[in-house]
Amino acid sequence: MKLWKVIGLAAFAGVAASGVVAARNQRRRAAYTPEQIRERLHQRLAEANRPE
């Protein structure tokens, strides 16, 4: 029975940790203005189309 408690606590910790990571990523994305996003997309497109 103790093993199941440990497994349950580990699963809970994993879910909580992934929620923290998702929230941090969302805050970082929300900090960009639409102009900054557009500029980054244009930069990435130019890099992708650049011949090697």
Q: What is the DSSP string of 1-52?
A: -HHHHHHHHHHHHHHHHHHHHHHHHHHHHHTS-HHHHHHHHHHHHHHHHS--
Answer yes or no: is 45 within a domain.
yes
Residue 32 banded pLDDT, cuts 50, 70, 90: confident
Mean pLDDT of 10-17: 92
Answer yes or no: is 9 within a domain.
no
Residue 32: partners with Cβ closer than 8 Å, 6 or more residues away: 40
pLDDT score, position 16: 92
Answer yes or no: is 44 within a domain.
yes
The range of the structural domain enclosing residue 39 comes to: 20-51
Query: For the chain, what is the domain count?
Result: 1
Residue 43 banded pLDDT, cuts 50, 70, 90: very high
Answer yes or no: is 4 within a domain.
no
Q: Quote the pTM value.
A: 0.48
Residue 40 banded pLDDT, cuts 50, 70, 90: very high
